[in-house]
Amino acid sequence: QGEGWFKRAPAALFYRLLRKMVDVEMALDSGDFRLMSRRALDHLNAMPERYRFIRGMVSWIGLKQVAFAYERHQRFAGTTHYPLKKMVLLAMDAMTSFSIVPLRFASHLGLIFGFLGLAALGYTLSSWFAGSVLPGWTSLAAIVLILGSVQLLVLGIFGEYLGRMYMETKRRPLYLINEIAAHDPAAGKLPVHRLQEMAHELAKGAARASGRV
């Protein structure tokens, strides 16, 4: 309560757009206030990122979450210390931390302008054969559109590689380990007999899957 449509509407639109752009399941219209288990907190603290979008990082961990709906009353005193500038910075952190869709935007624009350029070129050729083409501008517009689309496609390819390198530099783990069984801290590795048992179990599972057992 107490917040105008100028803040509520962009926030609601942002959450729904972000949900379409990222690979993790994010809760809509959620805040940063939450209770976390020690395991979830350890995983969160282990992530080495400096630009931290906490709501997305918690969802990326993948542990079970439960939402509690509550009625937020109007601010009793004071004013917000989260102006529009900070909201825009938060949105930028969210998009750049969990999505490379903005980098692929150039490729999409290149494809669109490429189709428009080909359509303009086809229209120019058909008009030329019909004898009603205007001299100069149609062919020039088609050439500019095609060349511009090629440039955008090349820029999109650069963006794709840049996005992959950017995601790699985050060094997020591929898997989050919940529990290590039969680990020997002194040796720093699993005992030999445990490794043999695991190999035997894997072999039995593979044989069962192939129908030999």
pLDDT at 134: 62
pLDDT tier at 26, thresholds 50, 70, 90: confident
- Tokens 């825009």, located at residue: 88
Among 30, 157, 172, 167, smallest CA distance to 104 is for 157
Beta bridge partners of 184: 189
Helix (H, G, I), strand (E, B) or coil at 72: coil
Distance CA 106, CA 156 (A): 5
pLDDT at 45: 84
Under a CB-based contact definition with an 8 Å cutoff, are residues 123 and 138 in contact?
A: yes
pLDDT tier at 41, thresholds 50, 70, 90: confident
Average pLDDT for 54-61: 84
pLDDT for residue 2 is more than 70: no
> In the numeric block, which tokens belong to residue 59?
């969802």
pLDDT at 196: 60
What whole-number percentage of the chain has pLDDT above 90? 0
Torsion of CA 138, 141, 145, 151, to 10 degrees: 140
Average pLDDT for 101-125: 79
